[in-house]
Amino acid sequence: MKRFFMQRKNLIVSAILILCLILSTLAFAQQEQDENQQKVKNVILMIPDGMTIAHTTLSRWYQGGEPLSMDEIACGLVKTYSANNPITDSAPAATAYATGYKTQNRYISIYPEMVSMPGVGQVEEKDFYKPIVTILEAAKKVGKSTGLVFTCQFPHATPAAFASHTDNRNDYESIAEQMVYNQVDVVLGGGYKYIDKNQRKDKEDLAGYLKQNGFFVTTSWQEAKNFSGKKIWGLFAQDAMHYDFDRNGTGEPSLAEMTQKALQILSKNRNGFFLMVEGSEIDWASHANDPVGVVSEVLAFDKAVKVALDFAKSRDDTAVIIASDHANGGMSLGNYTTKYDTALLNDFLAYITKAKRTGAGIEEHLGNNKTDENIKKIVSEYYGINDLTSDEINAIKNAKAGNLNYVLGPIISKRSNIGWTSNGHTGEEVVLYAYHPNGYIPRGVIDNTEICDYMAEILGIDLGSFNENAYISNIDLEEKGYDVSIDTINPSNVQLVINKGSKTYIIPQNKNVVLEGSNQYKLKYVSVYIPSAKRFFVSSEIESLIKLP
C-alpha cells in the first residue's frame, strides 16, 4: 500500500512539473507574441516646436471649433527640462528625443559636463562632450532609411540633433557638414546656402559631395515632387522657409506636402524607416508673441499630422509619436484686461480670422515704404485693424529688419485678449500624442528621454549597444600610447593627426573619413571637434585601422 501511494505521489509531482513547464512555455510564447506585437517597422516622430495647449486651443477656435487631427491620439504629458536648466532650449530638448539622454542648453547630441537638475545622472569626466549615437544614426546602421522634414534651415537645433554633434548649436557650417556626411536619405526643408560652396565660409562643396554619393539635390519643389528615387536633399529656401500663411507665390511646399513626399520615398525600403517631422516655426511665432503666426504654423503642422496618421492607419507596421520639445511664450487665452465672464469668442478671433499674413509676411509686403499712410493701409487690409495709435505706427516704422512680427504680434494680441509672459521658452510640461497599430503607447507624465526609449523599443534597436564603443577621444588615444595631435591651423578644417611609424593618419572634423597618404578609409561615425574643451572624438574603429602593435 505504501508503495502504491509513493507511485501515485510521484505521478502527481510529475504531472505538476509537466503542467508548470507547459504554463511556462505558454507564458514565454505569450510574452514573445506581445513583444512582437509591440514592434513596428517604421516610426514617424513629429515635433511641433514650442507648441502648448493654448496654441492648439486657439487654432481649434480659428477653424470653427473643428478638432485637430492630433486631438484623437492625445495620451499624456512630457517633462521638458534639460540637464542643467528647468527651462530647456531646443538643442537639449531635441537631443533628449534623439538620444534618450539629457544634455545642457546649447549642446546637440553630446554628453553634458554640467548637471544640476534633480534625477539627472552625472556623467563621468572622461565622457564630457562625447557624441551620443542618435536614433536616426542607429536606424541607418540597421538598414532602415532615414528622413528629416522641417521648415527651418536644416542645421537648426531640432533637425541637427538627429544627425550631428556639437557644443554650439549656432555653428551651422559644422553641423551642416556633419549632417551631409551622415547621409540622411531624405532631407526636405530650408537651408540650401549651407551646402553651397559659394556661400559657405570654408568653401566646402557639400552639394557636390551629396551628388557624388547618389543623392538628388534640388531647390525646386516641382523637381522634388516628381522625384522617383530613394535619396534626396530638397532645400527650397536659401535659409528658413516662409510661414505657411505667407507661402503663396513663393514656390515653397507645405509641411504636409513634404511629409507626404518623404513617406512616399522612405516606404520603399523593406527594412522600414525613421522620419522626424518638425513644425519649426510655431516656435518662432511664439518668440514674437504673434498669434497669427501661431495659428498659421499649428494648422500647417496638423495637416502634416493628418498625412502621417493616414499613412500609419493604412498599414500595420507604423507608429506615430507627437510631442513639442518645450513650451514657448507663456501664451494664454485671456489677459489682465479680459473680462472673462462677458468675453465672447469673437473678442478673441475678430482680428486673427481676418489676418491674411503673419507679421513676417507683412514686413515683406511693406518693404521700405513705411509712411504713416502706407502702414495704416497695409495693417487695415491684412488685419482689419483701423485704430493704430501713433506709438504703434512708430514702433512699426522703427522695427529692426526681420523683427516686425515682434511688433505686430503684440498689437494683435492686445486686441484679441491674448496674453504672453515671455519672448522665450517656458518650463511647463507639453502634451504627448501617440499612435501604434496595436495600441502600445506611452501614457501619463513621462520624461522627454523616454520618447527615445520608446521609439528604440518598438523599432527593436538597442541604442545602448551602439553607444558603448562608438567614439574614442584624442585623450583616450594618447593614454593608449598613440602619437596624437590636433591641427588647428585652419579653424574651418581642424584635423586629428595620428603618427605611427612612417605613416600619418589625418582625420578631418565633421567628416567620416581617414586619410593616410593616397589612401582613404570610411568610418562608421562622423568625427567631432569640441574647441572649448580641445577634445576630438573619432569613431572607435580607428584603432583597428591603425593596428597599434
Is there a binding annotation on residue 425?
yes
Q: Say which residues have a Cβ less than 8 Å from residue 299's Cβ, sequence separation at least 6.
A: 59, 62, 63, 244
Is there a binding annotation on residue 483?
no
CB 283 within 8 A of CB 49: yes
Is there a binding annotation on residue 436?
no
For the CA atoms of 43, 144, 270, 319, the dihedral, rounded to the nearest 10 degrees, stands at -10
Type and span of the H or E element at 153: strand 145-153
Is there a binding annotation on residue 158?
yes
Type and span of the H or E element at 513: strand 513-516
Cell of 332: 494664454
Phi-psi region of 179 (alpha: psi -120 to 50; beta: other; left: phi over 0): alpha
Cell of 402: 526681420
> What is the C-alpha separation between 276 and 408, in angstroms, rounded?
32
Backbone angles phi, psi at 438, to 5 degrees: -115, 15
> What is the C-alpha separation between 112 and 108, in angstroms, rounded?
10
Residue where the block lists cell 559659394: 198
Amino acid at 91: A
Catalytic status, residue 90: yes
CB 113 within 8 A of CB 469: no
Beta bridge partners of 328: 425
* Of 287, 254, 257, residue with least CA distance to 359: 287
- Strands 513-516 and 519-522, by their bridges, are antiparallel
| Coil, helix or strand at residue 99 | helix
Is there a binding annotation on residue 283?
yes
Q: What is the DSSP string of 74-116?
A: EEEEEE---SS-SS--HHHHHHHHHHS----TT-BSB--S---
CB 133 within 8 A of CB 467: yes
- Strands 519-522 and 528-530, by their bridges, are unpaired
Catalytic entry in 59, 69, 82, 90: 90
Is there a binding annotation on residue 278?
yes
Q: What is the number of other CB atoms lying within 10 angstroms of the CB of residue 341? A: 5
CA terminus-to-terminus distance, the chain: 76
Q: What beta strand segments (E) does 172-283 contain?
A: 186-190, 216-218, 232-235, 273-278
Query: Which alpha helices (H) appear in 288-389, and where do they start and end?
Result: 291-313, 345-354, 359-366, 372-383
For the CA atoms of 398, 402, 408, 410, the dihedral, rounded to the nearest 10 degrees, stands at -100
Task: Name the binding residues for Mg(2+).
Answer: 49, 156, 158, 278
Task: Name the binding residues.
Answer: 49, 156, 158, 278, 283, 287, 325-326, 425
Q: Which residues are catalytic?
A: 90
Task: Name the binding residues for Zn(2+).
Answer: 49, 283, 287, 325-326, 425
